Structure 1
Amino acid sequence: MHGIREVTEEFYGSLSSKKPFNCLEELEFSDMPEWKQWHLLGSGEFPTLEKLDIINCPELSLETRTPVQLSSLKSFQVIRSPKVGFVYEGMKQIEELYIGNCNSVTSFPFSILPTTLKRLEISGCPKLKLDPPFVEMFLEELSVVECDCIDDISAELLPTARELSIRNCHNLTRFSIPTATETLFIQNCENVEKLSGGGTQMSSLTIWNCKKLKWLPLPQLLPFLKHLYVDNCPEIESFPQGGLQRLVIWNCKTLVSRREEWTLPCLTELWISHDEEIVGGENWELPTSIQILAISNLKTLSSQHLKSLTSLRHLCVKGNLPQIQSMLEQGQFSHLTSLQCLRIRDFRNLQSLAESALPSSLSHLDISHCPNLQSLGMPSSLSELSISNCPLLTPLLEFDKGEYWPQIAHISTIQIDEECL
């Protein structure tokens, strides 16, 4: 296909056919570096085509004055084909549009896009600018990736967008959340300092690697926020709390160090992880509503923090947690009578796990990277057991031979160092 320069009438077969390719639903042109012209018959070809992809055809030129008449098209993807142009006037049912790696694209003709368009992704267009207003737009989902000319996204830009994803836009500095947005994802936009606006419908917010970001909207501006994920944002000191149900914080030391200020009465799922030890917060009180808890390197986590978690079903502990290690060795987990799944990771000094430490409700036990662990007691309630990178313990679990085999033989699912027994 590399030598093709034109797609001519021969492509359509017999010209006596009134509607060439009358059953074709998907069509892709790919890796045709010399293709320049696509001859269109204009006689009702592709009457049922719903998906068209043009990938890595850098010389192909299609202009708005000679649009592709594809009235049934619902999905159109253009990647590394910068001369294709905007040929959407004939696409009366288009729902999805993807434009990728088109370096020459500087603007986007939103005014000619049909109201049927619901999902738009623009990626790798470093010269593209987004200019409001798009009042007539009916977009529900917008994804913008690697478009470094975009420095401002205003709430008026896409008033109807329910899902927004902005990634690797390194010059973006201002972001005002549209009121209709329900899900917002921001990643690798390191110059954004503030999120503003009232995303009054927002239920999920993800912020990843925005190192200058300091301010998030006030709780009253995000009254329906249920899920918050914040990763590698060292400048953030606080977040909208209120009705949060799921909170994930990774590598945000300042934010976690102020956890005594948190008020999270509705929280059911909490994940906190940091590459370094996190100290302080001895008087922090965990919400009794928590059902899933994952903690890494939170040095001061203690039995006092866990004692009120009567609804806890899933617990994952990892890293330097000396008080948790003591609880495991001394049998102080038995009060967690709702606990069903326990995962233990990277306890380098843990030598034994007392059977009395584990509640009778436990059905799934997963232990990994505990090089000194050599004594293990297990409740009869276990139905799943996974052990990996515990070299002193592994020989004791050997099938039909190990010292602990009689204790685990009844377990329906056993995996040792990623091998099922």
Structure 2
Amino acid sequence: MLRSCDAKDALSLFDNLIEINFSGCTECEEVPTLGHLPCLKFLVIEGMDKVTCIGVKFYTMYSDDSYRNALFPALRKLKLKNMNCLVEWQDVMEVTAARVVFPCLEELTIKDCPQLMSAPCHFQSLNKLKIGGVCSTIFEKICSKLTTRTSLDISSVSELAFLPKQIICTSLRSLKIEKCGELSQIPEALHNLSSLETLEVKGCPKLMSFPSIQAAASLLRHLAISCGDEVLPTGLQFCTSVQDLSINDCPNLILIPDLREFRSLTQLEISGCPNLKIIPDIGEVRSLTQVDIFKCQKLTRLPQWLWDCRLNSLSIGGFCEELDVFSILSSMTSLHASLKRLCLYGWTQLDSIPDEIQHFTAIYKLSIKEFDGMETLPEWLGNISSLQWLQLYRCKNLVYLPTKQAIQHLSCANYSKTDGRRRKKMELSLSIIANNIQRRFFHIPIIQKLCGYLVGAMQEGKELKCINEQKSLGSNLVAN
């Protein structure tokens, strides 16, 4: 930060800057003065751990109120993230003679600022607000005067019991709410959102009912619902333009309405519905490419339409143990040549993966989850020449992998988290995900084989990126 007596003149050197990103400046105690920059359009302030206040100096260095031009005159996008000690973000219009602040700001992101207690509310052009990891007081303050928003993304807002009515405006095209543990009510005004194209409500366990969504039926394209009600929102059956439908974590849901008119559907997920017994008919949906139906413990049969789809991605399992779901894989002939991704959910007693997997000749990613009774992976996995990615998750008794020769062709792209960011990792030798395997278990044969594969990869000139010591099988083991 400039602190010299001629700082005002020196700051003019940056007048042509369009984008500024402050990230990980952990020793900085103040945010520099930026409000006068005439060309600044994009600003990110992230991880400045010692900053407790964003005050007047953020906007202007003219303490005598002589600077009356617009502040941040060209700024379009502002992101404020991971500011763990930030308590106050001052509204400059309340403490100076400034009359125009953020006149062009269209997108505002505030994430993971848990101690923030005050913030501005004058954002006259704001269209998109993404806010999370803050308290409900800040959320309500920022939203109190918004009138032009088209997109609202809310996540992990503490103590948020209900959504203020004023945030539901008719211009909204996208509304996403996630991980708001205290949320119990959504305003009835939701039924007036005739422009809504995306509606997602996830991870809100206290939300027991949903307003009607019939008004949005004609334009709604993406719909994700999670709630505690026994039935889904009124009007769902009229949302025939939906392309992506997700119904998950609905513990009391017993019925899903007829979906036969959903002719534009490309992705369907029904999961975490333990009281659901029947999957509804969806008719002839030729556009459907991805189906995920799992963890519906009372489901006793799969829908007949699954046999007629040409999917490229399928996740199934975790049903009533009387349903022998995996034996019917061989009869799904329409999928044998088209399916590229298959995810199977097992249960405690299952001691092997189904032989029927061999019928899928195009599969490149296979995920096997919660096969607790399985100790050995079959050697025939090596016969699936298209298979590139093998993922095992919570197979807690797994001891033996196939021979190196059987799975030596496993090589693909993978995404693994490093320092909180998702980075693409190429040349994956093997991805094994399980639970609670510590370093002291390295004597187990499967661990020895994994180490052997990784050493081999390193000998071929590839650098070993990471092995999670706490969960050696609980991480992606990546050779780069």
TM-score, normalised relative to structure 1: 0.68
Aligned twin of 2:154: 144
The Cα shift of 1:213 comes to 7.3
Structure 1's 323 and 85: CA in aligned 2 closer, same or farther, altered over 3 A?
A: same
Structure 1's 205 and 280: CA in aligned 2 closer, same or farther, altered over 3 A?
A: same
Aligned twin of 1:409: none
Q: Which amino acid in 2 is paired with 1:173?
A: Q
Aligned twin of 1:93: 104
Structure 1's 264 and 350: CA in aligned 2 closer, same or farther, altered over 3 A?
A: farther
Aligned twin of 1:408: none
Q: Which amino acid in 2 is paired with 1:222?
A: C
In the alignment, the residues of structure 2 paired with residue 148 and residue 230 of structure 1 have an alpha-carbon distance, to the nearest angstrom, of 25
* 1:49 and 2:49 aligned: no
* 1:294 and 2:315 aligned: yes
Contact 1:340 1:364 in 2 (8 A): yes
In the alignment, the residues of structure 2 paired with residue 125 and residue 387 of structure 1 have an alpha-carbon distance, to the nearest angstrom, of 38
More helix by percentage: 2
Candidates 253, 261, 265, aligned match of 2:274: 253
Secondary structure at the counterpart of residue 275 of structure 2? helix
- For structure 1, the 5+ residue unaligned runs are 2-6, 406-414
Aligned twin of 1:386: 430
Contact 1:155 1:179 in 2 (8 A): no
Secondary structure at the counterpart of residue 165 of structure 1? strand
* 1:233 and 2:250 aligned: yes
Secondary structure at the counterpart of residue 315 of structure 1? strand
Structure 1's 420 and 225: CA in aligned 2 closer, same or farther, altered over 3 A?
A: same
* 1:281 and 2:308 aligned: no
Aligned twin of 2:210: 194
Aligned twin of 1:13: 6
Once the two structures are superposed, the pairs formed by residues 322-333 of structure 1 within 5 Å of their partners are 325=352, 327-328=354-355, 332-333=356-357
Secondary structure at the counterpart of residue 247 of structure 1? strand
Once the two structures are superposed, the pairs formed by residues 103-252 of structure 1 within 5 Å of their partners are 103-104=117-118, 113-115=123-125, 117-123=126-132, 124-127=134-137, 128=140, 137=148, 139-145=149-155, 146=157, 148=159, 151-152=162-163, 157-167=168-178, 168=180, 170-175=182-187, 176=190, 178-189=193-204, 190-197=206-213, 198-199=215-216, 200-208=218-226, 210-212=227-229, 214-236=231-253, 237-238=255-256, 241=259, 242=262, 243-252=264-273
* Residues 355-379 of structure 1 deviation map (CA, whole Å, 9 limit, x = unaligned): 3x88656333626346265767988
Q: Which amino acid in 2 is paired with 1:95?
A: E
Secondary structure at the counterpart of residue 286 of structure 1? helix
The Cα shift of 1:251 comes to 1.9
Aligned twin of 1:74: 76
Contact 1:192 1:212 in 2 (8 A): yes
* Residues 79-106 of structure 1 deviation map (CA, whole Å, 9 limit, x = unaligned): 745461264823332222245654356x
User: Which has the higher mean CA deviation after the structures are superposed, 278-287 or 125-134?
Assistant: 125-134
Contact 2:52 2:87 in 1 (8 A): yes
In the alignment, the residues of structure 2 paired with residue 207 and residue 45 of structure 1 have an alpha-carbon distance, to the nearest angstrom, of 44
The Cα shift of 1:346 comes to 4.1
Contact 1:206 1:229 in 2 (8 A): yes
In the alignment, the residues of structure 2 paired with residue 214 and residue 373 of structure 1 have an alpha-carbon distance, to the nearest angstrom, of 45
The Cα shift of 1:234 comes to 0.9
Structure 1's 278 and 119: CA in aligned 2 closer, same or farther, altered over 3 A?
A: same
TM-score, normalised relative to structure 2: 0.61
Q: Which amino acid in 2 is paired with 1:250?
A: S
Contact 2:317 2:346 in 1 (8 A): yes
Structure 1's 86 and 294: CA in aligned 2 closer, same or farther, altered over 3 A?
A: farther
Structure 1's 28 and 192: CA in aligned 2 closer, same or farther, altered over 3 A?
A: farther
More strand by percentage: 1
Identity fraction in percent: 16
Q: Which amino acid in 2 is paired with 1:181?
A: L
Contact 1:291 1:312 in 2 (8 A): yes
* 1:315 and 2:338 aligned: no
The Cα shift of 1:193 comes to 0.9
* Residues 7-52 of structure 1 deviation map (CA, whole Å, 9 limit, x = unaligned): 9xx66726667957424553869999998xx999xxx942233337
Contact 1:294 1:315 in 2 (8 A): yes
Structure 1's 205 and 12: CA in aligned 2 closer, same or farther, altered over 3 A?
A: farther
Query: What is the RMSD computed on CA atoms of the aligned residues?
Result: 5.1
Aligned twin of 1:364: 388
In the alignment, the residues of structure 2 paired with residue 235 and residue 379 of structure 1 have an alpha-carbon distance, to the nearest angstrom, of 44
Secondary structure at the counterpart of residue 46 of structure 1? coil
User: Which has the higher mean CA deviation after the structures are superposed, 282-291 or 147-156?
Assistant: 147-156
